Structure 1
Amino acid sequence: MRMSRFFLLAAVAAVAGGLVYFILNGKGEGQEPISEQNPIDEAHDLIMERAVHRVGTDELVEGALRGMADVLGDPYSTYLTKEEAAEHEESLSDERVGIGAEITESRGRFIIVAPVRNSPAEKAGILPYDEIVRVDAERVEGRTMKELLRLIKGKEGTSVALTLFRPEEGRHVEVSVKRAAIPQKTVESRLIEQDGYTIGYLGLSMFGEKTAEEWETHTRKMIAGGADAFIIDVRGNPGGYLRSVGKVAGSLLRPGTVFAFMEDADGLKEPLETEAPGDKEYAEKMRRMQAVILQDKGSASASEVLSGALRDNGRAFIIGTVSFGKGTVQETMPLSNGGEMKLSTRKWLTPSGTWIHGKGIQPDLKSDQGPLYGIPSMPVDGRYRPGDYGEDVGYAQRVLGALGYEISRKDGYFDETTEKAVEKFRNDEDLQPGRAMDRDFFRSLRSRITKYQADVKNDEQLQLAIGYMKHALRTGN
């Protein structure tokens, strides 16, 4: 039998094995029935015998399981079917089988954001902004993202045929992509050289199965490269496995340091203490390293455990915005039908005993990003003129406003000020003169966003962290 797993994640997050038996029989082993009338059995029999909409017993059981979790009123407690449980576990694993492409949904269309470097998708010639039209000859129009991904997924080594519409060329493209194991990297790093200081930047996208191993590999590389200090970026990090964040925190804190408390339903608190890395020399160098944490409203759960652990123990200064505020721990437990219950079983508290649920962790130094930095580069297309109204127009208005163009409306109505801003933008970008939003206009708009966000000088929070760290290194504080 699979062991239950503890993890902290801000997405979906729900009772013990034997619930299926309980639902079908109205009682658990050694327990009295819920009522003398056995209402669960009665409801099941009535639906099976008289409901005009026919479903099977398995579907009714799963519906009852979902209902039991929903009654808790906890967004992180839920029932997962066998397929959902496998997908959720895969999302935290160190690799996935697929084609290696990031996909987004825009107005019912599925657009390639970018193929992963050296992935099957890149090798097959798939490009950013390609639209997926068919998968193995099946049209994807009207499907959900989950349904699309299930069509694309398959066994390693098998191939999937994709029909893509390439807007840059105005034509459809047929490609065959062989599925492969795509490594799931959760840590990225680079050295930042400024004013004679070398600062190691470490970005953690989540806390997966191999995050602690990746963390050690990258931090060793940073130390070998002469890093004087670390900037730890957990912006947008939704959480993950508790054991992974514990190992990361343990590399920066002394052995036996409390990095969090677990509190059960009876209020009993259990301290979680760090363990030292096996390499004493590496451990000592890590403990001497000064650190800054970058966080935002997307930093949740396990990433908040890290922020709370390092701040309460005086090991890191936090810059950014208040974090998400998820202070519960979920445990997944297998059921006899192959599904799982994911249930919030504990609260977690910072080393100072603070429960951050619904409140988040406040930064030591608040810093908001510029308006353009948080706007995604959307695969918008089409043609719009003054007087038109739509989501694409509203998106363009927000981008133009963030770029500094005079815009009075951002609700999607193409008014006179939008018309003038579009005309000026087209002139600034050396596009064909005009006042319409068209394919060339949106292409240039995307290019401006991409270039802006790719320049780290425009990352105001990161620049503030670099400045703070240089001051700390210079003054020894």
Structure 2
Amino acid sequence: MKNAKRLLLMLSCALVGAALFFAVERIWLPAPEDKGAIQSEVTETMRKLQKAQDLITNSYVENVDPNQLMDGAIQGMVASLGDPYSVYMDQETSKQFEQSLDSSFSGIGAELTKEGEDFIIVAPFKGSPAEKAGLKPNDRLRSVDGQSLQSLTLYEVTAKIRGPKGSKVQVGVERGDSKKELVITITRDDIPIETVHSERIKTDDGHIGYLEITTFAEGTANDLKEALASLEKAGIDGLILDVRGNPGGLLSSVEEVLHQFVTDKKPFMHIEKRDGDREALTSPLEERKSYPIAALMNEGSASAAEILVAGLQEVEGYPLVGGKSFGKGTVQQSVDLGDGSQMKLTMFKWLTPNKRWIHREGVKPTIPVDQPPVYDLVPLQSAVVLKKGMNDEKVAILQSLLNGLGYKVDRTDGYFSASTEKAIQIFQKSVGLKESGEANTATLLELEKAIQTYKENLAHDHQLQKAIEIISKKES
């Protein structure tokens, strides 16, 4: 992991709570161009840079740290690219980067990137504090603990969100077309990097294997092989690969995973250099699996996850169920600058088997399926008891939650109606609370538990159920 030059294929940026990137052994270096012309330009540029540094060092009204000047200069060069995936990491940030390659970290468990001036949640990790608190892919982060994020770098924002296990952080986000800031309180926790979850789902006609890949880390491919072998030994009539909310990871890892499922009849991806030269990557597999396969994806599926679904579909024609993916089609290489700092620079594009560049476009599902509205709702956090007669945005969220759980309310505009009160009383009775009709702390906690239970019920997962249906039809 200490290799000075590392190829990175992860949504750029930072795992909120710790930066998380994965190195790849394969290294592509740009071909040298006209060395004489380049050297001349570099020499002239260095003279200009040195003159500016000397001027500031010798004449600025206050003393300036030369290292601070150099860091600022490099940050400025990288920022001028306008590429959210190219990042300069000073010594401290680079140290955090290395520490984050451990098998676990403490934080909230969400992938964060920067697009223009916006900080975007790519995806919360499954089961993480961020997911439980209600953060969603494409949420726009606006504040941390009430402080604006304007003019901050990605890693400065990450540092604000990081903290010890058990401590709380408030993040303000905007969602969808709404310009209203939604403030969510999240309790930090240890986030283990367990990248593969398996299950054998019983159906009317047999059993279907289910493999969820949360990210493509160092041991993901081996863990998947073991889980798949166990499922096949137990007996399965089909397989579902789930990369919903998977933000990416190691190129070598997704390669090894694809080697299990796509054949050698065509490349599963292409790496394109800036001069247009391409390298095709092909699986050694000669025969595909004997059972049908489907993949689940959504807007939180990014980078290496997109390589997987594009390969499955364009090489083998396997169905993709869910929503359009995130859309990251670039590859980064991390270079040690010699003093403990690093630069992560976008150097290549990756293309699908059919040579499509999906950057900012994403991969479209072959079978679009929306989840129930409850999946998009945020657990309600309120220090104020919500009761009849109130008119508040939190009441609107409460009404949507009740409707989503099947406790019908006549309106969702934020006015606490008699119908809302009645729905709360019915809910309170169902969980053994006093039937006050008011949304107090105990009621809101029970609502949050009810939402989590709802989501954990496989019958409510429309995308998964559709994939099961498709595979079951192919079996018969």
* TM-score interval (norm. to shorter): 0.7 to 0.9
Preserved contact between residue 248 and residue 305 of structure 2 (Cα < 8 Å): yes
Question: Aligned partners of 2:126 and 2:13: how far apart in 1?
Answer: 26
Cα offsets for 1:210-234 (capped at 9, x unmatched): 1111111111111111122210000
Question: Aligned partners of 2:64 and 2:213: how far apart in 1?
Answer: 44
TM-score by length of 2: 0.73
Q: CA deviation at 1:59?
A: 2.3
The code of the aligned residue for 1:152 comes to P
Structure 1, unmatched stretches of 5+, are: 15-26, 105-112, 118-127, 130-139, 154-161, 165-178, 277-282
Preserved contact between residue 4 and residue 335 of structure 2 (Cα < 8 Å): yes
Aligned to 1:350: 352
427-436 vs 352-361, which deviates more? Answer: 427-436
Q: CA deviation at 1:55?
A: 5.0
Preserved contact between residue 265 and residue 315 of structure 2 (Cα < 8 Å): no
The code of the aligned residue for 1:4 comes to K
Q: 1:57 aligns with which of 61, 66, 78?
A: 66
Greater Rg, structure 1 or structure 2? Answer: 1
The code of the aligned residue for 1:33 comes to T
Preserved contact between residue 247 and residue 275 of structure 1 (Cα < 8 Å): no
- After superposition, residues 93-104 of structure 1 pair within 5 angstroms as 93=101, 95-96=103-104
Match of 1:33, SS state, is helix
Match of 2:198, SS state, is strand
Question: Aligned partners of 1:29 and 1:288: how far apart in 2?
Answer: 57
Aligned to 1:248: 257
Aligned to 2:43: 33
Preserved contact between residue 94 and residue 208 of structure 1 (Cα < 8 Å): no
Q: 2:456 aligns with which of 439, 442, 454?
A: 454
Q: CA deviation at 1:343?
A: 1.3
Aligned to 1:158: none
Aligned to 2:193: 184
Structure 2, unmatched stretches of 5+, are: 15-20, 22-36, 112-123, 134-143, 148-155, 169-188
Gap change, CA 1:85 and 1:387, over 3 Å in 2: farther
Aligned to 1:340: 342
Cα root mean square deviation, aligned: 3.8
Equivalent pairs counted in the alignment come to 399
Match of 2:361, SS state, is coil
Question: Aligned partners of 1:142 and 1:296: how far apart in 2?
Answer: 30
Once the two structures are aligned, what percentage of the paired residues are identical? 30
The reply on whether 1:218 has 2:227 as its aligned counterpart is: yes
- After superposition, residues 157-306 of structure 1 pair within 5 angstroms as 184-255=193-264, 257-276=266-285, 287-306=289-308
Gap change, CA 1:220 and 1:267, over 3 Å in 2: same
Aligned to 2:330: 328
The code of the aligned residue for 1:204 comes to I
Question: Aligned partners of 2:350 and 2:369: how far apart in 1?
Answer: 26
Cα offsets for 1:110-154 (capped at 9, x unmatched): xxx99999xxxxxxxxxx99xxxxxxxxxx97799844776538x
Cα offsets for 1:49-95 (capped at 9, x unmatched): 5556765222222222221111111111111233433444555x461
Question: Aligned partners of 2:454 and 2:11: how far apart in 1?
Answer: 29
Aligned to 2:424: 425
Match of 1:251, SS state, is coil
Aligned to 2:441: 439
Match of 1:347, SS state, is strand
- After superposition, residues 79-94 of structure 1 pair within 5 angstroms as 79-89=88-98, 91=100, 93=101
Q: CA deviation at 1:29?
A: 6.6
Preserved contact between residue 327 and residue 362 of structure 2 (Cα < 8 Å): yes
TM-score by length of 1: 0.73
Q: CA deviation at 1:244?
A: 0.6
Aligned to 2:409: 406
The code of the aligned residue for 1:313 comes to V
The code of the aligned residue for 2:203 comes to Q
Gap change, CA 1:360 and 1:35, over 3 Å in 2: closer
Preserved contact between residue 454 and residue 460 of structure 2 (Cα < 8 Å): yes
Gap change, CA 1:97 and 1:354, over 3 Å in 2: closer
Cα offsets for 1:225-258 (capped at 9, x unmatched): 1122210000011111111101100111235741
Question: Aligned partners of 1:428 and 1:262: how far apart in 2?
Answer: 54
Preserved contact between residue 423 and residue 434 of structure 1 (Cα < 8 Å): no
The code of the aligned residue for 1:370 comes to P
The code of the aligned residue for 1:369 comes to Q
Q: CA deviation at 1:8?
A: 2.0
Preserved contact between residue 241 and residue 302 of structure 1 (Cα < 8 Å): yes
Gap change, CA 1:63 and 1:420, over 3 Å in 2: farther
